[in-house]
Chains A and B, each alone.
Chain A
């Protein structure tokens, strides 16, 4: 089986490059943790109240949980890409376990490469991070020591990553090959019901927290247990941002197709003959759209949030608490976010061929390479626009409570309404460029030098 997996890996290694990005990010996170922990232990500093081990472990725990949740999507996509191959293997009598082992070995190998590269990339960062964390008030008592590379910690982080990826790859492979998507009816109903309750709780909570900003500060302060007015607003703003992210995750599937359709009316489709096809293409790839827009939304909301805290609500968040919030967020959410971002890049690369699957049909009916590239520009700009619109709406919703908070805490807002567009615009443009780059390269590579087309 190992041998067969190696053959298959040799044949398909190109498409594993896509998956390598997320494994690299995970390798970085694991490398970060292992280097930190290993160096602490080697320096004999792993004791007491200011034991750095706990600090280093946090990113790995949150990061690896995120990775195991996302691996399913990657596995599914890679299997789907070579569906014909795996159908054939199963026609020849390979059972689901054998197929899953093959996938698992290939993923484990890619994970090894990711672990190896990630380890070395983590080394300078863990140094910088630790030295910075120690400058934070309340953290200055963490001991000073130097990070070190060591072959033991290298092997350990490569092993942990490849084994974890191998096992989760096997499990999700087994799910795909056995077609285990079909849930039992009762379980399905139970799931739907609890999901319904969850949605109500989230939206109820969101509306409630939102309404707090329009109440008198005294009431809110009482509610949260007597604190300073600044602290109170800081806390409900944080809760609001988190609720908004969860709420967005819930509603994304419903509103995305609507966005695409609305865009269709806004942008004059007659302008380019390829725009119409671009719309259909985007609409068809809803899942991809979601994997792209959700992290972008989170990113633009969180960074705008910090922007407002830093520049507008300076009294709420004096420099000290801001740096603390940032450090804590980085510690807990940095790794998951990095991995989610890497996942988006991985999925974009892996699914590029799928997104362009109808391209060969288009080129048969007479689209030139230039037309095809225009079509890709159309698609990429739809993705970019949706990211921009969503981010702006999210920021607008955030901006009102920020204004309220600034009013009640007697600070002058420096940023006007226009500021809600800055970060979403940046993220949208970056997404546009990235998708156009990936898909454009794909189209160019496959069609520019081809005289004949295989259907």
Chain B
């Protein structure tokens, strides 16, 4: 049975531009996500995809509506509970890698474990990286790595935490073709093993290989496609 892990209920988000003006970026969006599910969020640039992902992952409080992650509203948690949730229940992968420049590769990967005071096995990490065709030295600092390598480090960091929900914002946006396929394969496999993956992407081809696509336009969720194919996706995006 696939359980509901995320429930989004009527969220809107507006930003105040100055005292009197504000813009509505997200408009009344609702949906649910389940374990074992790979969801893609697609839409034109500026349609609010990243904003939506931030709202549902607990990084940006929506102006209206509620969010539940594993039946808890992250915006009602104490800061230390939020921190714990981020270490143990959810994982983030961004286009900009989000690696800590001060730390070498190995420390970057095990950072969430260190923060939770968990045991760390170096051989496990090495095995994991090998399976991702990662060949750079673990003692290197991350700014010496290529884009593809950095993203692999970021993904390895999510993998070691055994997070059950993964948020990814254009994880393949800045890597080469082969890294892109590998990264997608890993995410696909995770979703097959009970994880809920929510990925923002511009890539119609990748979106067509996910379980469900949410199509966003001007901050509105205009369509949800189950088992989408490329033709459908293109058509919906053009239609608006």
> A7: CB under 8 A from chain B?
yes
Known: A93-B86, A95-B79, A95-B84. A88 touches B103 (CB 8 A): no
Query: For residue A8, which residues in chain B have a CB less than 8 angstroms away from its CB?
Result: 102-103
Query: For residue A329, which residues in chain B have a CB less than 8 angstroms away from its CB?
Result: none
> A418: CB under 8 A from chain B?
no
Main secondary structure of the interface of B (DSSP, over half): helix
Would A93 and B100 count as touching, CB distance under 8 A? no
> A265: CB under 8 A from chain B?
no
Query: For residue B85, which residues in chain A have a CB less than 8 angstroms away from its CB?
Result: 93
Would A93 and B83 count as touching, CB distance under 8 A? yes
Would B80 and A93 count as touching, CB distance under 8 A? no
Would A96 and B80 count as touching, CB distance under 8 A? yes
Main secondary structure of the interface of A (DSSP, over half): helix
Q: Which of B5-13, B66-74, B112-120, B124-132 contacts A (4 or more CB under 8 A)?
A: B112-120
> B204: CB under 8 A from chain A?
no
> A97: CB under 8 A from chain B?
yes
> B107: CB under 8 A from chain A?
yes
Known: A90-B83, A93-B87, A95-B80. A85 touches B112 (CB 8 A): no
Query: For residue B83, which residues in chain A have a CB less than 8 angstroms away from its CB?
Result: 90, 93-96, 98
> A89: CB under 8 A from chain B?
yes
Q: How far is the CB of B82 from chain A (nearest CB, A)?
A: 8
> A186: CB under 8 A from chain B?
no
Cα distance A10–B104 in the bound complex, in angstroms: 12
Would A178 and B79 count as touching, CB distance under 8 A? yes
Would A7 and B107 count as touching, CB distance under 8 A? yes
Q: Which of A1, A89, A96, A98 contacts B100 (CB 8 A)?
A: A89
> Mask for B42-85, Cβ within 8 A of A = 1, else 0?
00000000000000000100000000000000000001100111
Interface residue count on the A side (C-beta < 8 Å)? 22
Query: For residue A1, which residues in chain B have a CB less than 8 angstroms away from its CB?
Result: 114
> B199: CB under 8 A from chain A?
no
> B98: CB under 8 A from chain A?
yes
Query: For residue A97, which residues in chain B have a CB less than 8 angstroms away from its CB?
Result: 80
Would A92 and B87 count as touching, CB distance under 8 A? yes
Cα distance A3–B115 in the bound complex, in angstroms: 11
- Interface residues in A1-21 by Cβ distance below 8 A to B read 1, 3-4, 7-8, 10-12
> A91: CB under 8 A from chain B?
yes
Q: Which of B84, B101, B103, B104 contacts A93 (CB 8 A)?
A: B84
Known: A7-B103, A85-B100, A85-B102. A92 touches B111 (CB 8 A): yes
> B34: CB under 8 A from chain A?
no
Would B102 and A93 count as touching, CB distance under 8 A? no
Would B98 and A93 count as touching, CB distance under 8 A? no
Query: For residue A96, which residues in chain B have a CB less than 8 angstroms away from its CB?
Result: 79-80, 83
Would A93 and B115 count as touching, CB distance under 8 A? yes
> Mask for B225-240, Cβ within 8 A of A = 1, else 0?
0000000000000000
Chain B interface (Cβ within 8 Å of chain A)? 59, 79-80, 83-88, 92, 98, 100-104, 107, 111-112, 114-116, 157
Query: Can you list the 3 inter-chain pairs with the closest CB atoms, starting with the nearest?
Result: A93-B87, A11-B102, A95-B83
